[in-house]
Amino acid sequence: MESYKDWIILDELPDNWIIDKTVGSPLPYTVFITNGKSVINGQKRALLKVKPKLENVIKESDKVKINHFPKLDKEINDYRFPAKTVNQLARLKFKKHLLNEILFDLSVCDIEKWDKKEYIKELQIILNEFKID
């Protein structure tokens, strides 16, 4: 019989036992179950294995791949990894990541009907706080 710490792991829910929704499980794909009694009157606990819901799982083939920066991708892929270009490659990857984050934020502005100018002004304030010596 499997166990985790002091809890037995069961494959099926025993008769007169219930799922305890008040406590999160310490293991993936398991839930806590109890014998329905209170802690004072001899409650027993165990873990019950559950199957994941497959309708929420997105297949890799279903994902939409959007490439907003093909020029940056080409620059990144052109590097051959000599020691002196590693820092340049890291900067390009960081630049691409940062631009994707900004594009995402602007998309949220569109969806939520927020003012993009206000978002850009806040970005400018943040960037102006950096001092370059």
Parent domain of 123: 61-128
Cα 93 to Cα 39, 49, 73, 99, 119: the distances in Å are 54, 41, 9, 10, 23
Residue 133 lies in a domain: no
On whether both 68 and 122 belong to a single domain, the answer is yes
Q: Are strands 7-10 and 3-4 parallel, antiparallel or unpaired?
A: antiparallel
The whole-model pTM stands at 0.41
Say whether both 66 and 123 belong to one domain. yes
Distant-in-sequence, close-in-space partners of 114: CB < 8 Å, separation ≥ 6: 108
Residue 117 lies in a domain: yes
Structural domain contains residue 22: yes
- pLDDT tens for the chain, 133 residues long, are 788 888 899 999 999 999 988 888 888 889 999 998 888 888 899 999 988 765 555 555 555 555 566 776 777 666 665 655 667 778 788 888 888 888 888 888 888 888 888 888 988 888 888 766 6
Say whether both 72 and 123 belong to one domain: yes
